[in-house]
Structure 1
Amino acid sequence: MNDAPIKAVLGPTNTGKTHLAIERMCAHSSGAIGFPLRLLAREVYDRVVAIKGEKSVALITGEQRIEPPEARYLCCTAEAMPRDAGERAFVALDEAQLSADRERGHVFTDRLLNARGREETMILGAATLEPMVRALVPKAEISARPRFSTLTHIGPRKLSRLPPRSAVVAFSSEAVYAVAEMLRRFRGGAAVVMGALSPETRNKQVELFQNGEVDYIVATDAIGMGLNLDVNHVAFAGLTKFDGVRMRRLHPAEMAQIAGRAGRHQRDGTFGTLAGAGGKFGPSPEFTEEEIYAIEEHRFAPITKLFWREAEPRFDSLATLIADLETPPAHEALRLAPEAIDLATLKRLAEEPFAATIRRHGKVRRFWEACSLPDFRQRGPDVHARFVARLWQDLQEGYIGADYVAARISELDNTSGDIDTLQGRIAAIRSWAYICQRPDWVLARDEMASRARGVEAKLSDALHARLTERFVNRRTAILMKSLGQDAGLLPIALDAEGVLRVEDEALGHVEGFRFVVDQAANHADRKMLLAAAEKALPRILGERAEALAASDMADVELSRGAIRWKGHMLAKLNSRDGQLKPELEPARELATLPEASRKTLMAALGTWLDGKLEPLEPLHRMHVAATNPDAGSQARALLLNLIAGHGFVTREKAGLEHLPKEMRPFLRKIGVTFGALDIYSPLLLKPAPRQLLAALGIDRRPLQDAMLPVIPDAKKLPSGYRHAGTQAIRLDLAEKIFRAAHDARTKAGGKRRFALDLALPISIGLEEKNAERLLGQAGFRVQRARPLAEGTFGPPRPDQWEWRPSARRKQNQRPAPAPAKPREGSAFAGLADLMKQG
């Protein structure tokens, strides 16, 4: 259709194919992706909306259409993918290996052959599809993607031994319900997911599993079609299924598609069978060695044929239409699709008396569209054909009346009944939702479609409630009945994930050293579980505290004035006068620890904190010097100002005029620098000490993590910076610029004006105008050179600079009063004698 590149991204599950397609689509100006399930289409729709916004994304399925007028990105089911999708910059088809499916394969084959993007096309599927892509799309660029994690077979597991975060896969609603009921009795409950569920019900059931309210999910093979779950293990309750024609064993590729749900991204997964799942569902399933090897190594027999059916038949007559739909394909890689429900319905109704009146092109086309109504209720071709015949009688009059549709929807607006009854109503309302989405079938289409969606949502909520009520046990009832009411007898342990368990049943979880009881427990069980946990917690948390104290404390950090472990506070930091190291106040949660364990942990935290405070050694030296009574009041006052400023203070606020000059060498020795405008410690302007001061909660000003030389100016600057026009500069670099300016003034030999090269501040990152404003703070003023007279050639005259310190600065430069005589025998008296001898 065009010369745009076609990329086939093939590989097993958990390779990021769908994620890649979403990224590529969002990188284009427009796009469309076709999915095998409306559940998956809805999931991706939500992800793209989060990136592009609701106005830019459309969701198109048989039963639902969300089409903003400005939508540029489409998330569709393959059947609902619009014919004009090729007008978009990007087009992708997900799970393209379904082209080999008996029922829907011809739809996917048509999209694989004809759906093309204006700028890029992407075909996503299993590696087994590669020969067909090479045969049918020879210009496609094929790339293989390896699985992010490994998949390992661990053999059969009984329900009582099933690992947490497991999915059990069955192949009939009867088997799904039976397994879910057993999990409710023996493991506390399970979420249930089947393809017949509405997206709302499915999402709420998945949420039960994802949130950890239940550790197990029971599903049909619909779970294999790209639904993202945090599953660690997949257990097969059976290895045979009815494929619409006969009962057969799953192909290894189908097994792998389902087993591949285990593990996510780089977390490995396992698969196996459910031991004891025989009985009325057949013998207990077992994998063969060949199947295990194929699944673990992702080696499967390639697909050799794809199902095809004429996608654009002629509508001259019903006979012509049927003949075109039954015409075999010309390409050797394609085979004619088996008779689907839409074609079976068409052939049945073509024999009815009213079919003689269906003659013109438009009427034949409209009749075919009616026959294409999906059989949501799954009652067989005859029942479905009668429903379509009644629908066609209404459509012959033009449109179906809104009152009639509203009455049918109202009949289904009933949330009473059991699970099967509600599922039947949801299937029926899906039929009406599909009918209401057609642009030329129903009067007041938007209103009727909205009503149908509303009823489906209500029925979905009711079905979710029924499923939860039937298959989710709030964790403790059976356990408490078997063990009695004495909670102290329960064997309680804390697992590696921080969950407090009693015989594999969760009581709650531990956050740091605080126990949180499971919110899913009812009131009576909550009190019992809490009492059981409280009896074991001192011992368990004491062991946890001692293990933490003996570890390297890799997960311990300083944050917001406290020591935290995995985000939970262990101790609050309280500042102490005259000391840099703060006092450690144990968090309230540590009160439940045994005394010895608490002391061991606090001692370890103190030692750990000593090591963390090493970057603040210059500040520690200031604290020590400021508490020395021999330092003199003037030096101690300056040191206290430096400590209060966390390593720096302006000369104006330092009280420098009172400091004796002979005290300056002593202060320099402990790391103090006397600058033109600031007094500071250069070592405290590095990133590590600044970050540490912020984490300790000592310095509450904004933090510049990297302590960059120059940053944009702000009303409240990070510590260690000085304003410089529209920029701010670090104090030590500002002092370097001031010293360079004074050096240039000295070289001028006492002249009032001198030349100053601004290369240094500009190389640091200051703009020229901001460099002049910074120098102006230190008393340097620029005198612009007069331009050359007109007609005069030569380089322009350089600007001249003057140094005119402010009156306040001159006052600060007055001689300090005579210092007090140091106490005889003190260190400062010895320093004075040495200076006199020098």
Structure 2
Amino acid sequence: MCGHSSGAIGFPLRLLAREVYDRVCALKGEANVALITGEQRIEPAGAKYLCCTVEAMPRDGGNRAFVALDEAQLAADRERGHLFTDRLLNARGREETMLLGAATLAPLVRQLVPEAEITQRPRFSTLKHIGPRKLSRLPPRSAIVAFSSEQVYAVAEMLRRFRGGAAVVMGALSPETRNKQVALFQNGEVDYIVATDAIGMGLNLDVTHVAFAGLTKFDGVRTRRLVPAEMAQIAGRAGRHQRDGTFGTLSGGVSGAASPEFSEEEIYAIEEHRFAPLTKLFWREPEPRFDTIAALIADLETPPAHEALRLAPEAIDLATLKRLADEPLAAQIRGAGQVRRFWEACSLPDFRQRGPDVHARFVARLWEDLRGGYLGADFVAARISELDNMAGDIDTLQGRIAAIRSWAYICQRPDWVLARDEMAARARAVEARLSDALHARLTERFVNRRTALLMKSLGEDPAMLPIAIDTDGTVRVEEEPIGRVEGLRFVVDHAAGHADRKMLLAAAEKALPRLLGERAEELAKALSQEAPAGGPTDVTLARGEVRWGEQVLAKVAIRDGSVSPALEPSREVGALPPSSRTALLTALERWLEARLAVLEPLAKLQQAARDPEAGSEARALLLTLVAGHGFVSREQAGIEHLPKEMRPFLRRIGVTFGALDIFAPALLKPAPRQLLAALGLDRRPLEPAMLPVIAGGRKLPAGYRPAGSQAIRVDLAEKIFRAAHETRAKAQGTERRGKFVLDLALPVSIGLEQANAERLLGQAGFRVEHARPLAEGAFGPPRPHRWSWRPARRKPERAPPAQPVEGNAFAGLAKLMR
């Protein structure tokens, strides 16, 4: 066409018209090229080249030098064949006319256009039948063809599960959505495409194999088997130019259907490209009379005169016209202009595919507005806005796209809508947004990019696997997240299904050890550089475990007879490469050793327990103190067995002998108590700041003594006891009967309530005698309380057991025992 001064081409699909329009614009400039389809019109003034759908193609070719009709064999199609036949017979170029189609059309062209020159272009590549294949055994770059939306969805779901997904192409999709789905396949994001027979026309795909999920289809009248020419049209998508292709069937069936099989004759016809020629083309009167509706219907049902032509079956436009002709509205349609306008309304395509009855009601409502003139811009804008909704599932969005295509068609009519250009632009914008939303829904449902990517890379060298860890711990393979790393543990993406988990773990296990090893070495380096008080590594010690964030790196194992614990690495640390594991454990041991410095007083007690100079009694007390982590009550210490000469030895190493408790004051500070709790050595509730006084309870933190409703730290309790004894000693000889006055200012200043202070002192043998209150009306300071002290009574030693009397049976038994 571009070799002529002007030209027009009619295409069967608007996406083909748009594709060629873009190519011609690149050659001739946008000002010289027009695009006319049912839903879009781009008509520069003086355009010399026209790309259009067959329905929008001028019958006479528009008086252009060159005219072409693409896919001319569609003249045998039941629904649209009469349009192709009319253009085949009437559209002519001044200099050249070209009919492009299958060789099966050649005999009829010779009958209808005897002057035509027929030239055949052989296929450079070959098609070969390779028999049935299971879905799991299909080679990459395959197209699976089904003949119902249910079959398409079922196959696509299975491919998503096992192969990472597939692109989906159906006739109900908008051209924009179809192009985007095809781009998924062409770009290699998925290796499979599932389609209806819409794939057989207008799509240039990089397909190596075509698998038929079925060989029968519903053609609008009945369910029939595909003819060999239709099979070849679809199978011919495999292989392009000089690259050979294969075809076959899908074994195992889909949705319970039986597995289809080609016959030997069909395989021969497809491989050798030999098909029965067409015998008839469908025809309908292209220029009917518009005197009345009845005359119009009669002309449209008039059979053709030529023997090569057949009257077209009743199409949706004629069915709509005949239904509305019986309605009351038809009585008001008079005159050729009204009848022609009514016929144009009935010719509105049924994009929604709801059937003649539903479509006729829509046309009747449209005619009510068109009969009086134009559709108002406000009315059309409101209808378009109702469809501007991106929510919903695939079927809902398909329904909205079909509806907006109807309004896009209506808005293209120059004599139907006011502000035509503006309304058409709005309709196209809504269709584009709906197409984007539908593409997103299809991709979300039928494409698992992650699985598709992993299926391609699982057999590769682990070092070449494009896997990376983001700063937030997200693990990605070529930008697709497969999970996240928490510390040194890989956690599969929570959105992954059960079937995907094994594949994700397999991919992670290939490359993650190396990356996790590098991560562990970075952590070891940070541990070695950070200060003992903590740092940016976020490594903590709690409940006997060394944690990095929320992950356990190692457990603290307490060795018998030692304050220094050992580290038992977790499973994740144990799975690291040997060099990384050793570096991390060494750094953790040094990090832990630095934190154990605050337990030096406890280490001294343990070391003294091994000293040979310490007697057995002192050794027993020291071991009890070590077991109590620096604290034990006198009742549990067995101090009555400790020789007095050993007490100076114990005091030198930091042991304090209190009235009620024996303790190491250095171990009652917050730092050692918190570290003991973090090591898991002290599992009692921990008071973080080791406050002087806390609320009492059944379970008290280590280092506290109960005092009524409160509890006090044992070293402060000892301070109170010592002050009370000093007051008692000073009062001896001045008070009668051992009574003395005790000032409770010290315990109260520490934080004890008076009643609780009295109960605490009572544990040490101090008894209070409350003074009588002043008589009513008396004045002066209250009488002081009187205190006394009585040492705790020692438990009497048990008498030796009675010896049996000599001469009885028990005496004989005693001798045997001795």
User: Shorter-normalised TM-score: what interval?
Assistant: 0.5 to 0.7
Q: Residue 227 of structure 1 corresponds to which residue in structure 2?
A: 203
Contact 1:278–1:285 (8 Å) recurs in 2 = no
The alpha carbon displacement at 1:85 in A equals: 2.4
1:167 and 2:143 are equivalent in the alignment:
yes
1:158-196 CA distances to partner (integer Å, 9 max, x unpaired)? 111111111111111111111111110011110111122
The alpha carbon displacement at 1:203 in A equals: 1.3
1:328 and 2:328 are equivalent in the alignment:
no
Give the direction of change, closer, same or farther, for the CA distance of 1:474–1:308 in structure 2 (3 Å limit): same
The alpha carbon displacement at 1:35 in A equals: 1.0
Using the alignment, how far apart are the partners of 1:532 and 1:48 within structure 2?
A: 50
Give the match's secondary structure for 2:238: coil
1:50 and 2:26 are equivalent in the alignment:
yes
Contact 2:449–2:480 (8 Å) recurs in 1 = yes
Give the match's secondary structure for 2:282: strand
Q: Residue 597 of structure 1 corresponds to which residue in structure 2?
A: none
Using the alignment, how far apart are the partners of 2:464 and 2:223 within structure 1?
A: 44
Give the match's secondary structure for 2:55: coil
Contact 1:277–1:284 (8 Å) recurs in 2 = yes
Q: Residue 532 of structure 1 corresponds to which residue in structure 2?
A: 510
Matches within 5 A, 1:508-523: 518-520=478-480
Contact 2:165–2:452 (8 Å) recurs in 1 = no
1:358 and 2:336 are equivalent in the alignment:
no
Give the direction of change, closer, same or farther, for the CA distance of 1:534–1:245 in structure 2 (3 Å limit): same
Q: Which amino acid aligns with 1:332?
A: E
Aligned counterpart for 2:251 among listed residues 261, 275, 278: 275
Aligned counterpart for 1:441 among listed residues 373, 393, 416: 416
Q: Which amino acid aligns with 1:223?
A: I
Using the alignment, how far apart are the partners of 1:520 and 1:95 within structure 2?
A: 42
The alpha carbon displacement at 1:227 in A equals: 1.1
Matches within 5 A, 1:204-283: 204-280=180-256, 282-283=257-258
Using the alignment, how far apart are the partners of 1:227 and 1:301 within structure 2?
A: 25
Give the match's secondary structure for 2:330: helix
Q: Which amino acid aligns with 2:460?
A: I
The alpha carbon displacement at 1:53 in A equals: 2.4
Q: Which amino acid aligns with 1:532?
A: K
Q: Residue 134 of structure 2 corresponds to which residue in structure 1?
A: 158
The alpha carbon displacement at 1:278 in A equals: 3.9
Contact 2:163–2:452 (8 Å) recurs in 1 = no
Q: Residue 702 of structure 1 corresponds to which residue in structure 2?
A: none
Matches within 5 A, 1:95-106: 95-106=71-82
Q: Residue 551 of structure 2 corresponds to which residue in structure 1?
A: none
The alpha carbon displacement at 1:83 in A equals: 3.5
Contact 2:189–2:452 (8 Å) recurs in 1 = no
Gaps of 5+ in 2: 469-475, 485-492, 494-503, 516-818
Using the alignment, how far apart are the partners of 1:536 and 1:50 within structure 2?
A: 51
1:799-818 CA distances to partner (integer Å, 9 max, x unpaired)? xxxxxxxxxxxxxxxxxxxx
Q: Residue 406 of structure 1 corresponds to which residue in structure 2?
A: 381
Contact 2:86–2:283 (8 Å) recurs in 1 = yes
Contact 2:76–2:282 (8 Å) recurs in 1 = yes
The alpha carbon displacement at 1:517 in A equals: 5.8
Matches within 5 A, 1:265-304: 265-280=241-256, 282-304=257-279
Matches within 5 A, 1:596-635: none
The alpha carbon displacement at 1:38 in A equals: 1.3
The alpha carbon displacement at 1:523 in A equals: 6.6
The alpha carbon displacement at 1:249 in A equals: 0.3
Higher CA-based Rg? 2
Using the alignment, how far apart are the partners of 2:50 and 2:61 within structure 1?
A: 8
Give the match's secondary structure for 2:450: coil
TM score, norm. by length of structure 2: 0.57
Contact 1:159–1:187 (8 Å) recurs in 2 = no
What is the root-mean-square deviation of aligned Cα atoms in Å? Answer: 2.6
1:310 and 2:285 are equivalent in the alignment:
yes
Contact 2:185–2:191 (8 Å) recurs in 1 = yes
Q: Which moved more, 1:403-412 or 1:76-85?
A: 76-85
Contact 1:56–1:72 (8 Å) recurs in 2 = yes
Matches within 5 A, 1:495-506: none
Q: Which amino acid aligns with 2:181?
A: Q
Q: Residue 659 of structure 2 corresponds to which residue in structure 1?
A: none
1:537-558 CA distances to partner (integer Å, 9 max, x unpaired)? 9xxxxxxxxxxxxxxxxxxxxx
Q: Residue 387 of structure 1 corresponds to which residue in structure 2?
A: 362
Give the direction of change, closer, same or farther, for the CA distance of 1:443–1:237 in structure 2 (3 Å limit): same
The alpha carbon displacement at 1:49 in A equals: 2.1
Aligned counterpart for 1:418 among listed residues 393, 400, 416: 393
Q: Which amino acid aligns with 1:184?
A: R
The alpha carbon displacement at 1:493 in A equals: 6.5
The alpha carbon displacement at 1:479 in A equals: 7.2
Contact 2:200–2:234 (8 Å) recurs in 1 = yes
Aligned counterpart for 2:154 among listed residues 170, 175, 178: 178
What is the identity percentage for the equivalent residue pairs of Structure 1 and Structure 2?
82
The alpha carbon displacement at 1:52 in A equals: 2.2
Q: Which amino acid aligns with 1:142?
A: I
Q: Which amino acid aligns with 2:322?
A: K
Give the direction of change, closer, same or farther, for the CA distance of 1:153–1:535 in structure 2 (3 Å limit): farther
Q: Which amino acid aligns with 1:458?
A: R
Matches within 5 A, 1:786-801: none
Q: Residue 492 of structure 1 corresponds to which residue in structure 2?
A: 460
Contact 2:124–2:242 (8 Å) recurs in 1 = yes
Matches within 5 A, 1:337-736: 337-476=312-451, 491-492=459-460, 518-520=478-480, 524=484, 529=507, 532=510
TM score, norm. by length of structure 1: 0.56
Give the direction of change, closer, same or farther, for the CA distance of 1:517–1:90 in structure 2 (3 Å limit): farther
Give the match's secondary structure for 1:142: coil
Aligned counterpart for 2:122 among listed residues 129, 142, 146: 146
The alpha carbon displacement at 1:341 in A equals: 0.4
Contact 2:232–2:273 (8 Å) recurs in 1 = yes
The alpha carbon displacement at 1:126 in A equals: 0.5
Contact 1:507–1:529 (8 Å) recurs in 2 = no
Using the alignment, how far apart are the partners of 1:244 and 1:252 within structure 2?
A: 19
Gaps of 5+ in 1: 1-24, 481-486, 509-515, 538-838
